[in-house]
Structure 1
Amino acid sequence: MGVGKTTVGRLLAERLGTEFRDTDEDVVATAGKPVAEIFFDEGEDHFRALERQAVATALAEHDGVLALGGGAVMAEETRRRLADRPVVLLTMDVAEAVRRTGLDAPRPLLAVNPRQQWRRLMEERLPLYTEVARAVVDTQGRTPEEVAEEILGALELSRP
């Protein structure tokens, strides 16, 4: 959360001359309401079902840069779908995460004690992220442009 998936993803797509897509935006479009409202109105399980479908659809239809929601890798079927793809894990530490997401941001999983929740989520998710990632890029103290350049190099991608 707040690591820069969307910002960096858009930059990468531009530099690669391709399209960008964000599965959280797809979920919002399908549900007709923001992610936070889906969590509060229908619960996390419903959101995760929408997210799994959004990822499956995007991977089947889209061949550009794709940003997945932070919890998408929790689903085994999603990890299987990502197995042979150039997945990049963007990282930062907890202090940076809290600074970037803000304590008042509408992030349902960080609603209570954001630092503790973020640490818990990372302990739970980090092994799954690293399972599917072909490259890991630290965003700490770096501009989105610097992060995008490192990703291009790490994946040995070239611009058109």
Structure 2
Amino acid sequence: MRGPVLILVGPPGSGKSTVGRLVAERLGVPFRDFDADLQREQGMETGELVVQLGRERFQEVERETLVRVLPEHTGVLALGGGTPTAPGVPELLEPFHVVFLDVELEHLLRREGLVPLHPWLLPNPRAHLRKLLAERRPVYTAVADAVVPTSGRAPEEVAEDVLATLTTSNEHQAG
């Protein structure tokens, strides 16, 4: 079956893009940032898209875009933070190896640039992130084949753990 060798999920700021690039480099495959796909296709940042289209239509666009991207991308794919919560997306992810990059609230709050990048977190980033993590963590866990903690860890260390999940996954499929 064609498609990504690995899909990363997790909240904004969990390290999906940074770790995804490292893993892709180690595997010798291309890296793709799903939010960049949406931005390129729709002509605006994902945060603006949510405001322009509304949450429901935005999630439809995410799903439609993912349907196109999955069969054509054979490397590492980092999904947007909310993408796995879109109706129909968990089913699309089932055939693929998905890793949830789990991060603690306090670590997210220390991430420089997270709030300006995601203006919907204002005026109270702590409250918004706490709610977001509480709502999305069960979805991330449900779609993932493995969970890798990222809080307070170097991206290279996280990438090693993500790569190890591929080895474990391949062993299970072979056995």
Q: Under a length normalisation based on structure 2, what TM-score does the superposition of the two structures give? A: 0.83
For structure 2, the 5+ residue unaligned runs are 1-11, 171-175
- The alignment status of 1:71 with 2:82, answered yes or no, reads yes
Q: Deviations over 1:95-116 (max 9, x none)?
A: 1111115464131431231111
Written as runs of structure 1 = structure 2, the 5 A alignment for 1:1-160 is 1-100=12-111, 102=113, 104-156=115-167
Deviation per CA, 1:124-146: give whole Å up to 9, x if none. 11111111111101111111111
**For the Cα contact (< 8 Å) 1:2–1:97, is it kept in 2?**
yes
Report SS of the residue matched to 1:124. Answer: helix
Cα RMSD of the aligned pairs, angstroms, is 1.8
Runs of 4+, deviation exceeding 3 Å: 101-104
Q: Which amino acid aligns with 1:42?
A: L
2:115–2:121 CA contact under 8 A, matched in 1 = no
Show CA shifts across 1:3-49 (max 9, x none). Answer: 11011111111100001111100100011111222223333233222
What secondary structure sits across from 1:7 in the alignment?
helix
Unaligned runs of 5+ in 1: none
| Residue 72 to residue 103, structure 1, CA distance change in 2 (3 Å) | closer
Q: How many residues align?
A: 158
